[in-house]
Amino acid sequence: MTKIMNSFLEKTPHIDFIKIRWYGFILALLVFAGSIFSLWTKGLDYGIDFKGGLLIEIQTPAPTQAADVRVKLDSLNLEDLTIQSIGQEGTSFLIYTTGTKQVVQTEMETYNQVKELLGEEVAFRRVEMVGPTIGQELIKKSIMATALAILAICIYIAVRFEWPFALTSMVGLTFVMTVIVGFCSVFGIDFNMTIVAAIMSLAGYSVNDTVVTFDRVRDNLKKYHRMPIDELLNKAINETLSRTLLTSLSTILMLVVLLFFGGETLFGFSLVFLVGIFIGTYASIFIAVQLLRLFDLRKIGSKDDEGPYAAAAVYEKEAKKLPLQPSSCGSCPKNR
Amino acid sequence: MFGYSKLKAWTVIVVSVFGLLFSLPNFLPESVYKQVPEGIRKVWHPVTLGLDLSGGSYLLLQVDTGALYKEQLTSLADSVRTALVDRKVRFSGLKVEGEGKEQYVSFKLLNSGDYSKVRETVLRLENGLQVSSSGAAVSVSYTPAALIQMTNAAVEQSIDIVRRRIDELGTKEPSIQQEGEDRIRVQLPGVQEPGEVKALLGKTAKMTFHLVDEETSVYDAQRGKIAPDSMLVPGDDMNEAFYVLKRASVVGGDQFQTANASFQNGTEAVVNFQFKQAGARKFSVATRDNIGKRLAIVLDGKVISAPSIQSHIPGGSGVITGNFTIDSAKELALMLRSGALPAPLSVVEEKVVGPGLGADSIEAGFLSCMIGVVLVFAFVFLVYGKMGTFANIALIFNGLLLLAILGLFNATLTLPGVAGIALTIGMAVDSNILVFERMREELKMGRTAPLNVINAGFENSFTAILDSQLTTLFAAFVLYWLGSGPVKGFGVTLGIGILTTMFTAIMVTKFLMLAWLKIRKPKEITL
């Protein structure tokens, strides 16, 4: 089995990503535009964390219908009441009513009334009440935090690499964030703080992905002084492709398990992250790295030939001149 | 030591042993763990579970700073009035105006030439005041810095009082902390019904004693015919609608030594109290000089009773009567004991997780972590064979180290945090993959000497690992800063996970590989 995997991964692939760049850009633009459109027209399905309101999760002793629960609560005249059945047994329900100021002020009463109407045998698994000001603040804070995270990451990349890398990774990251939020909008995913957490760590993950490829570009710039930039970028993408694939696969494995076994709270988290992995990888290959073509990387890269790879590059050049050593060489010392 | 510096080797060994040791409490059955001496358990304990896993209540309280400023300004208005009268400045319409942070004391000077004198007088009253004028109108307010100081002091004091009130209820291990500028986060593990707590926090319980102004009728007072040192105060539900009271309080609410609920005449619920020494002295003087007059007891701006002073009360103890049930008397006594809140509190966010849901979440989180880890291990083994085993061992240490650090730093593990751990394991493989891919490249280039291949693999991948992990660390920081509760927990887990990942993927894996080289002396490695 290992053999099969190896033969599949052993060869460095030679996909000409630069050649198909326009298809890549156009697809990215379409998806981006679609996300913006959906956010513009449909918006996000804000959860209680952002919208405020009262949320109660109950468990009934015997399976029942959401409609039955609703009938029981009818007399309360709750605003914007939704009752959602969760799980397969038909015994768990989410009761949610939006946070007009009035509801929040009488939240305690509402809760008590709900309790009374549903009867003693119903178990209350979770109660959440969020005031309206909290949600508004959280939206502002989230947007600010996201911007701040992107900025911090870019400054780091600008310091560790060069400013074109920072610029293109910022474009890539903005694409990833927009599209994943757009995904939440299109599919009406309950947008709560856990989803924000998923998106933030996704930002980390996708930059991670981009940085690995950048590292290869940086490496190659120092190694191959005469290689055309297009070829060099292509080489970097192809060389890191097997790593990208393997890392994605292992993270996807984890997420799929979380998706199916992690329970209701982690479902949205896993789903968003799972989709985000594809978007992030796509953005690395088709946006962040390819946009580097727009800059004169040689000029920037030639500033320091003294980096850690200068020696390796020289060594590499020398090694190429020599005939390859046989794999088991009797005279070689075992451990140098 | 086999081409690995001694310092590094020992670091790996010490940190790994630490990880094993301090993650152990998480895996011990409770019955076994209970037998560990308490002193050790204080440091050596399992990870604290967040409320979403352990069950309990979370309340976010907002300190009503608007009311706080209003009160401060009202008392400032009193001292301004007194000071101006003292300096024989003629003025009219002195009152507190505005809302929230934009509140000020305003009045009109009858002789606008008095302004500089007024300014000087007012500024001498208190620090942190600012005075401005337009024409004859003067306004006095606190500087922004003074407001901030006021807020901080009030929040601090509120936290103290909230803690005392909650402690009185006997709640186990409550956590009460400031959040942001003017909020207080209260976490009550195990509490399913925060109703009682909320009732206790819903009242400021500011109690003051005032003499009733017997000379002014309520009728006159309502039409503005009221002496400047008197005020109109509404009565509690069952009493007279309004009372006219002397502004100056006889004794303040900060003077209660003890307060207890009891029955008077066998049926009437009352609150017995004992003043502290200073309060007792004031109370003694007031009762001696005003026998026959009425003394009003004002709670949160309402008169709850106004009994006549029958005789001199020298000892500083007394009885508060009112329309109490035994429960409300108990509640009031508790609040008087713990002190008055400097400003009203309101609940702006509340989360209650039942123990059933928490247990289910733990089970689901644990199960998915286990399945996920097994799958990832299998995957790494499948792709990298024997060398993958080293990476897998390092992954185990990664997980253990993460748990150990979370436990040691008393970080809270929340449900998203569990996802953070799972994700850390899933993504930690990345660092190993980067190393292995570089090693494969070495092999492809025809180098086979195992030590060289291993060293080159780690060296060539180091910058990629460092840069990629550090950028993720930024995201973790932001999550920590942005989030509250579960999300903060996720940020912590993610951040610590990155650090442990860098350590295990680079140092531990290399250590294991080099040790293997030393022991088995293989001629070549395959990947």
Q: pLDDT tens digits, residue range B96-125?
A: 888 888 899 999 988 888 888 888 888 888
**Binary contact (B364, A336; C-beta < 8 A):** no
Measured CA to CA, the distance from residue A76 to residue B288 in angstroms comes to 56
Range from A27-36, A57-66, A116-125, B173-182 that averages highest in pLDDT: A27-36
Beta bridge partner(s), residue A129:
A54, B350
pLDDT value at residue A270:
93
Q: pLDDT tens digits, residue range B207-264?
A: 888 888 888 888 888 887 888 778 888 887 656 788 888 888 888 777 888 888 888 8
Count helices and strands in chain A by DSSP H and E runs: 13, 4
Of B351, B357, B478, the CB nearest to A148: B478
Q: pLDDT tens digits, residue range B133-159?
A: 888 889 999 999 999 998 999 999 899
User: Considering only A96-105, B367-376, B459-468, which range has the smallest mean pLDDT?
Assistant: A96-105
pLDDT value at residue A167:
92
Check residues A181 and B204 and name the one with the higher pLDDT.
A181
> Class for domain B6-55+354-520, per CATH?
mainly alpha
Contact by Cβ (8 Å): B347, B61: yes
Measured CA to CA, the distance from residue B449 to residue B453 in angstroms comes to 6
Contact by Cβ (8 Å): B445, A319: yes
Q: Which two tokens stand for residue B185?
A: 């986060």
Place A74 in a pLDDT band, splitting at 50, 70 and 90.
Answer: confident
- Reference B298, options B224, B214, B223, B242; nearest CA is B242
**Binary contact (A107, B350; C-beta < 8 A):** yes
Nearest CA of chain A to the CA of B353: how many Å? Answer: 4
> Class for domain B65-146, per CATH?
alpha beta
Contact by Cβ (8 Å): A93, A66: yes
Measured CA to CA, the distance from residue A219 to residue B136 in angstroms comes to 75
Of B365, B375, B437, the CB nearest to A242: B437
* Residues in CB range of A158: below 8 A, 6 or more apart: A165, A166
Superfamily of domain A14-43+135-311: Multidrug efflux transporter AcrB transmembrane domain (1.20.1640.10)
Question: Residues of B with CB below 8 A from A205's CB?
Answer: 427, 472
Percentage of chain B with pLDDT > 70? 98
pLDDT value at residue A3:
53
B20 interface with A at CB cutoff 8 Å:
no
Count CB pairs under 8 A between chains A and B: 250
Nearest CA of chain B to the CA of A207: how many Å? Answer: 7
B480 interface with A at CB cutoff 8 Å:
no
CATH 3.30.70.3400 positions along chain A are 53-130
Question: Where in chain B are the domains?
Answer: 6-55+354-520, 65-146, 206-323
Of A148, A204, A253, the CB nearest to B426: A253
Q: Model ipTM?
A: 0.78
Architecture of domain B206-323: 2-Layer Sandwich (3.30)
Q: Which of B184, B423, B441, B466 to mutate to test the interface with A (most CBs of A within 10 A)?
A: B423
**Binary contact (A266, B368; C-beta < 8 A):** yes
**Binary contact (B375, A204; C-beta < 8 A):** no
The secondary structure of chain B in percent helix, strand, coil, rounded to multiples of 5, reads: 55, 20, 25
Main-chain dihedrals φ then ψ at residue A321, nearest 5 degrees: -70, -30
Q: Which two tokens stand for residue A86?
A: 């969760």
What region, left, alpha or beta, does residue B261 occupy, with left being phi > 0 and alpha being psi -120 to 50 degrees?
beta
Exposed (0-12), middle (13-18) or buried (19+): which is B179, by Cβ within 10 Å?
middle
- Reference B14, options B511, B519, B514, B518; nearest CA is B511
Check residues A90 and A310 and name the one with the higher pLDDT.
A90
Of A125, A215, A327, the CB nearest to B357: A125
* Residues in CB range of B468: below 8 A, 6 or more apart: A207, A208, A209, A211, A212, A215, B430
**Binary contact (A215, B463; C-beta < 8 A):** yes
What's the whole-model pTM score? Answer: 0.78
Q: Which two tokens stand for residue B33?
A: 């763990």
Measured CA to CA, the distance from residue A41 to residue A94 in angstroms comes to 27
Measured CA to CA, the distance from residue B223 to residue B226 in angstroms comes to 8
Q: Which of B474, B492, B499, B517 to mutate to test the interface with A (most CBs of A within 10 A)?
A: B474
Which chain A residue's Cα is nearest to B437? A243
pLDDT value at residue B519:
87
pLDDT value at residue B417:
85
Nearest CA of chain A to the CA of B46: how many Å? Answer: 22
**pLDDT above 90 (res B6):** no
**Binary contact (B474, A201; C-beta < 8 A):** no
B486 interface with A at CB cutoff 8 Å:
yes
Q: Which two tokens stand for residue A194?
A: 């856990």
> Class for domain A53-130, per CATH?
alpha beta
For B242, the 3-state DSSP assignment is strand
Which chain B residue's Cα is nearest to A2? B382
Check residues A171 and A75 and name the one with the higher pLDDT.
A171
Contact by Cβ (8 Å): A198, A275: no
Give the number of other Cβ atoms within 10 Å of residue B170's Cβ: 6
Q: Give the per-residue SS3 of B286-314.
A: HHHHCCCCEEEEEECCEEEECCECCCCCC
Measured CA to CA, the distance from residue B107 to residue B121 in angstroms comes to 14
CATH 1.20.1640.10 positions along chain A are 14-43+135-311
